[in-house]
Amino acid sequence: MEKLSKLAESMVGSEIVRLGNEINDRKRQGENIYNFTIGDFDPQIFPIPEKLEQLIIESYKNHNTNYPPADGILELRKAVASFIQEWEGLEYSESEILIASGGRPLIYTLFKSVVDENDKVIYAVPSWNNNHYTNLHKGLHCVIEATPENNFMPTADDIAKNIEGAALICLCTPQNPTGTTLSKETLSEICNLVIEENNRRSDGEKKLYLMFDQMYWTLTYGDIQHYNPVSLNPEMRKYTIFIDGISKAFAATGVRVGWSIGPTAVLGKMKAFLSHIGAWAPMAEQKATAKYLLEKETVQMHFEKFKSALVFRLHKIYNGFIALKNEGHNVDAITPQAAIYLTIKFDLVGKKSPNGLLQTQEDVTRYLLNKAQLAVVPFYAFGAGKNSPWYRLSVGTCTPENIDSFLLQLKKALDELQ
């Protein structure tokens, strides 16, 4: 094999992509698999809002196909400012908003802007891609093993153990992969830690920043509320960089419009990196999104219909798992809180299947796929330990008609275990 850069040779492939490729291969061979691995939406089931689609088409017909500004077009930054003020109560000017092609370039350039080699990066597992971004920037991984007792979220005490000298704390709420949320009390305590730590640092010393990924914040259910650091503690405005966009709120993952909100000193450096990388949201989509975000009644109607469809699926599957648990099977689930994910548990290591003993969690995953035709993502794909019995189930490609049949197939597979 050719010798490449040390970074390239240290990179670890995505377990989610590997699993997805295997499932696609098997489906092409004619297998019927209930594929709940994808943190995405099937456009045939969850299309983008009709009005947004019309605006995008009109925008292309108006020939909005040239380069956008590196920080995003002014009308979209103003629309984002209006949107977050209307829906979240956050007041930011257009100069404090940066547009990019979804959340990933913003996360990448934030790391580039604040993390040096061997800088501490604090994040909990399971969580989406924090381990990979830290590795890409040669940061020092300060990993918190989150627990179901805390909704798989870090506590302030967890963070306090690593906070001295840290460059970045990564929080995501609602959380991918768990679909759980960070409580108001815990987030307030974490904010206090960040303020206290930065007050201890001298003027010439690097500050500690908080990456606050709230890509799913519009998708909360029941009594669950989303909280953000700046509303809870205005002092956090200097240190918080929001990651947000239309990808999940409007089932628009492929439209590629995301934004960061935060201090101009950090966003300015992120913008500089983006200008070299070129990871801009397309001009036509920016123009369309700028108009759509301002249509409050249309957006409200979308959220009502969209969230109703998601919560129906999440609760129906959750109830199915609890029924299986009550029958004596070693499964469990956490009550749906937010996002498009259900956290489920298969505590089956040590069980005997018709084909042999399930000795590892990988054996369990394989058994679920082969016997129940159920594809879900193990939490070890999100940085958790290899022995974690917890999984992410995504309902973005799920039809209501499939739920009963998949639960019946799962029950048959569990019944065969001894």
- In terms of Cβ atoms closer than 10 Å to its own Cβ (0-12, 13-18, 19+), residue 249 is buried
Instruction: With a cut of 80, say whether residue 2 has pLDDT above it.
Output: no
Instruction: With a cut of 90, say whether residue 371 has pLDDT above it.
Output: yes
Residue extent(s) of CATH 3.90.1150.10 domains in the chain: 6-46+300-415
CATH architecture group of domain 6-46+300-415: Alpha-Beta Complex (3.90)
Question: Hey, which bits of 358-417 come out as E strands?
Answer: 374-375, 377-378, 390-394
Residue extent(s) of CATH 3.40.640.10 domains in the chain: 50-294
pLDDT of the residue at 54 = 98
Half-sphere CA count of 335, side-chain side, radius 13 A: 7
Cis peptide before 378 (omega within 30 of 0): no
**pLDDT range class, residue 370, cuts 50, 70, 90:** very high
Handedness of CA 37, 308, 246, 241 (dihedral sign): negative
**3-state class percentages of the chain: helix first, strand second, coil last, to nearest 5:** 45, 15, 40
Instruction: With a cut of 90, say whether residue 5 has pLDDT above it.
Output: no
**pLDDT range class, residue 408, cuts 50, 70, 90:** very high
Taking residues 35-52, report their average pLDDT. 95
Instruction: With a cut of 90, say whether residue 121 has pLDDT above it.
Output: yes
Q: Are 152 and 343 in contact (CB under 8 A)?
A: yes
CATH of domain 50-294: 3.40.640.10
Instruction: Give me Rg for the CA atoms of the chain.
Output: 22
**pLDDT range class, residue 102, cuts 50, 70, 90:** very high
Tell me the C-alpha distance between 167 and 104, whole Å.
19
* 210: β partners: 169, 240
- What is the Cα 275 distance to its own chain's centre? 25
Handedness of CA 177, 144, 181, 113 (dihedral sign): negative
pTM of the model: 0.95
Tell me the pLDDT tens digit for each residue of 224-274.
999 999 999 999 999 999 999 999 999 999 999 999 999 999 999 999 999
pLDDT of the residue at 23 = 83
Read off the DSSP letter of residue 281: P
- What is the Cα 410 distance to its own chain's centre? 27
pLDDT of the residue at 1 = 59
- SS3 string, 158-196, reads HHHCCCCCEEEEEEECCCCCCCCCCCHHHHHHHHHHHHH
Instruction: With a cut of 90, say whether residue 83 has pLDDT above it.
Output: yes
Average predicted confidence (pLDDT) for the chain: 95
Percent of the chain with pLDDT over 90: 90
